[in-house]
Structure 1
Amino acid sequence: MQTTGREPAAAQAVATHELTRTFGPVTALSRLDVTMPRGVVGLVGANGAGKSTLIKILLGLLRPTSGRAEVLGLDCGTDGPAIRRLVGYMPESECLPPDVSATELVVHLARMSGLPAEVARERTADTLRHVGLHEERYRPIGGYSTGMKQRVKLAQALVHDPRLVLLDEPTNGLDPAGRDEMLGLIQRISTDFGISVLVTSHLLGELERIADHLVVIDGGVLQRSTSTADATRLSGVILVEVTDRADELVARLRAIGARVAEGGGQSFTVEPTDDAVLDAVQGGAADLGVGLVRMQRRRHHLTEMFREQEVTDVRR
């Protein structure tokens, strides 16, 4: 798969302002204000959170009730055809014809995107090789496994060399090994070919592994938009385990202002705000005459962070 020259990139891949979409009495998106940078952006939310509705608006297939959205600097309300020339889309639903081969389907869709016949065939071969279907490319899709069908959907989203791909729940129906392989492919789309990716999932842990930026929505309302690096960096803690008297060591650390969370038994976590905290752990253990079993840097998974935030919000 080869990339071609492209026009200068917009500053943001996606931007929305007061974006609202209702279906009768149901509000799918509510005054959504968010910007999504280029790179890999994870759009996280439970089923029914509004992810698919947002994708359809970004493709220009669904008009917002109010507000506006932009993709690569183009207005989704008025520039739908132009957006679809620059964007690839992998739908969540089962939509592949069973009686044609992957090559036939992807070539056909490449031609529909405006590629000449010879270029479409060459690009199809490259893309199917990239997604791991080169050996199976002439078999009817009806005989494919779920993982292979997902790869066909990914290939058709990439074949016309888009600047941005929208992937709607690309790991649905896959076993753990298949999910890992799909996530690896998505990372390569960005790192190897410079294509921006917006990928939706209801599994935060999956997107934590591959996304540069995370956007969380719930009930059509923005909950959080943050870079993955900032989130994980801010959540870094040190897991400490001692042979005895952990409660006394915790008390010493709290007395100097360290933020400590008891973990049960002889272990606890401490936030390493500066080197003095780490020195206090080692010095305190020596003063108490206890052994340090381990001091291990640990990062909260983002699922834990959001769970903690939800508990805090409820207590307020």
Structure 2
Amino acid sequence: MTGELMGLAPVISTAGLTKHYGTVHALTDLTVEVGDGVTGLVGANGAGKSTLIKVLLGLLEPTGGHASVLGHDIEHEGQEIRRLVGYMPEHDCLPPDVSASDFVVHMARMSGLGASAARERAADVLRHVGLDEERYRPMGGYSTGMKQRAKLAQALAHDPRLVFLDEPTNGLDPAARTDMLNLVRRIGTEFGIAALVTSHLLGELEQVSDHVIVLDGGHLLRSSATGDFLQRTGGLLVEVVGTETERDRLGEALAQRGLTCRPRGTMVAIDPPPPELAEGGAVHDLIRDVAADLGLGLMRLQPDRRHLEDVFLEGGTRV
């Protein structure tokens, strides 16, 4: 199950792309490129994520600017774009009295596959998304997680070169969310299909994306490789055995030794240490010794890294 190999050209390219609904500016002067692999499109609800996908699919006409998808112009070649890409919409759109098998076969045939090829393809993608044993049941009786898998299956039914996945984890519990994210990651790695994935949950995209695009109020906030977002800060995160009381005891003791500390969940976040402690692992020895003096067991000591949330917390200079 592999998508067609693509060259070095971006799979999506926009230049000054703008979409206004009267006085509402959904997208403003968006210039960005999307390459192979999994690209996360992140932003709060109303940031312009779904609007961008619909414009790229040729379902909405832009107010200004230009864009291409797989080398095709969105304003004049929308039908060809929709033939080449898969689309998983955010909202529930599944006919309740139709089985997943019949639905995916239908969508594959709508995309141009013959009857036999469509049936084979439907069986293949339903197996890949984990609906093999449930494929003949009417989808109205599916759980939310199963419905999301069925929507993903139909997006992959015609072996697209690119898929748009709009909030694929919407409404899922933590376990189902993890399963869906694993499927998304496999699309970009094992299947070789480029994917543009939207989410308002920033931590999700850190897990699966090669590249992240951040939108804020229709503007481009930042676009870069995921690793650039998650660079080391020079700080440390420490977790000890016990409750918040033990965490706070450690933090207070480290502060008395000259470190700047604050609680972060179950851990103590430590700012970059002064130069005399930064060299030769001295700060690690200090943390170990303080924890031992307090009779606390160290569970974790790791570098602190920036997260996607930090882009917003820092005010995020628009690019």
Shorter-normalised TM range: 0.7 to 0.9
Q: CA deviation at 1:299?
A: 3.0
The answer to whether structure 1 residue 269 and structure 2 residue 274 are counterparts is no
Aligned to 1:158: 156
Count of equivalent residues: 298
Contact 2:145 2:176 in 1 (8 A): yes
Structure 2 alignment gaps of length 5 or more: 240-249, 293-297
Structure-2 separation of matches of 1:228 and 1:195: 18
One-letter code of the match for 1:308?
L
Q: CA deviation at 1:41?
A: 0.7
Structure-1 separation of matches of 2:260 and 2:224: 25
Q: CA deviation at 1:175?
A: 1.1
Structure-2 separation of matches of 1:244 and 1:202: 35
Aligned to 2:311: 306
Q: How large is the Cα RMSD of the aligned pairs?
A: 3.0
Aligned partner of residue 237 in structure 1, secondary structure: strand
Aligned to 1:12: 10
Q: CA deviation at 1:17?
A: 0.8
Structure-2 separation of matches of 1:34 and 1:152: 30
Structure-2 separation of matches of 1:79 and 1:20: 18
TM-score by length of 1: 0.84
Q: CA deviation at 1:200?
A: 0.5
The 3 A distance-change label for structure 1 pair 198 and 160 is: same
Contact 1:107 1:120 in 2 (8 A): yes
Q: CA deviation at 1:296?
A: 2.1
Structure-2 separation of matches of 1:73 and 1:272: 49
The 3 A distance-change label for structure 1 pair 104 and 280 is: closer
Q: CA deviation at 1:275?
A: 11
Contact 1:232 1:301 in 2 (8 A): yes
Q: CA deviation at 1:88?
A: 0.3
One-letter code of the match for 1:299?
D
Aligned partner of residue 193 in structure 1, secondary structure: coil
The 3 A distance-change label for structure 1 pair 144 and 268 is: closer
Match of 1:143 among 141, 144, 163: 141
- The runs of at least 4 consecutive aligned structure 1 residues that moved more than 6 Å come to 240-245, 272-276
Structure 1 alignment gaps of length 5 or more: 251-259
The 3 A distance-change label for structure 1 pair 109 and 68 is: same
The 3 A distance-change label for structure 1 pair 8 and 42 is: closer
The answer to whether structure 1 residue 297 and structure 2 residue 295 are counterparts is no
TM-score by length of 2: 0.83
